[in-house]
Amino acid sequence: MPGAIGDVASEVATVIRVDNPMLDLRLVSLGDGGGDLTKEFSGLSAERPPNAVCAIVVPLITGPHPRVMRTIKDAVTQSETNVMITDPLGPHPLLAEALHIRLSEMGLARADRVRLFNVTSPVDGIIVVTAGGDGAARAAEATGILLAARLTLPVVPAAIDGVPSVNDAAERLRKIGASRLAVVPYVIGPEADHERIRVAADTIGAGCASPLGAHEAVSRLVSFRYGSALAGTHDDEGY
């Protein structure tokens, strides 16, 4: 996971362990540049048969994040171990649903898209803000489309550390007539500074929702990514 191990990552891990008590789940921070991860891989490799997959890494990110992925791959190389790395958690309809919930918690979206369909929305444009540069913003478009379908509102992506920026996204929405804007962080927590996102929202006069955090969708998708990768290792080993 990017950044330090904090409450969000620990809570996600707790939920996964409750649902999968036999799973050997380990939280490893990349805050030191990957040194702890390299040590973890080396230790696990010593416990496994030669050439066996010693770990499946599920990055705690919603989309492409070059720095995070490069750090993980460097740790694999330095440890000289056989490790599988899964795709990011998104895009996925569960994440779009979670973003909807985060917006509704702050009064920035209707809580029920069916029952309250005819109620006027508190905003008329949404900016989905991710971290990981330009590529992450492009990848966020798919989840943004899913969120737009739920809210029947225009949704555009932005990157807190790339382009389009939050200001770029706001300008794009205003050009199509949206004036009441909301920002929703398409991040779990450790990979981006939420205060920086909140300030960016303030700059454009938009409300700001909370990050995805330890929403149940995150835990479910971590388990899904792990399970899919594990099934692949079994197929490769002829199980």
In the chain, at which residue ranges do the beta strands (DSSP E only) sit? 55-57, 83-85, 125-130, 155-159, 181-185, 207-208
pLDDT of residue 104: 93
Both 140 and 223 in a single domain? no
Both 183 and 223 in a single domain? no
Tokens of 196: 């920086």
Low-confidence ranges of the chain (pLDDT < 50): 1, 114-118, 234-239
In a domain, 36, yes or no: yes
pLDDT of residue 233: 59
What per-residue string of b and e applies to 164-188 under the rule 16 or more CB within 10 Å gives b? bbbeebbebbeeeebeebbbbbbbb
Both 46 and 20 in a single domain? yes
In a domain, 59, yes or no: yes
Provide φ and ψ at 127, rounded to 5°: -115, 120
* 8 Å CB contact between 166 and 147: no
pLDDT of residue 118: 39
pLDDT of residue 151: 92
Both 145 and 222 in a single domain? no
Both 227 and 188 in a single domain? no
Both 179 and 228 in a single domain? no
Domain count of the fold of the chain: 2
Alpha helix ranges (H) inside 127-206: 134-151, 166-175, 194-203
In a domain, 1, yes or no: no
In a domain, 168, yes or no: yes
Both 98 and 203 in a single domain? yes
Both 36 and 99 in a single domain? no
In a domain, 29, yes or no: yes
Both 51 and 125 in a single domain? no
- Indicate which CATH number applies to the domain containing 182: 3.40.50
Both 50 and 84 in a single domain? yes
In a domain, 17, yes or no: yes
In a domain, 2, yes or no: no
Please provide the average confidence, as pLDDT, over all residues in the chain: 89
Instruction: Give the SS3 label for residue 192.
Output: coil
In a domain, 108, yes or no: yes
The boundaries of the domain holding residue 134 are 93-208
Task: Tell me the pTM.
Answer: 0.90
Both 177 and 119 in a single domain? yes
Both 56 and 80 in a single domain? yes
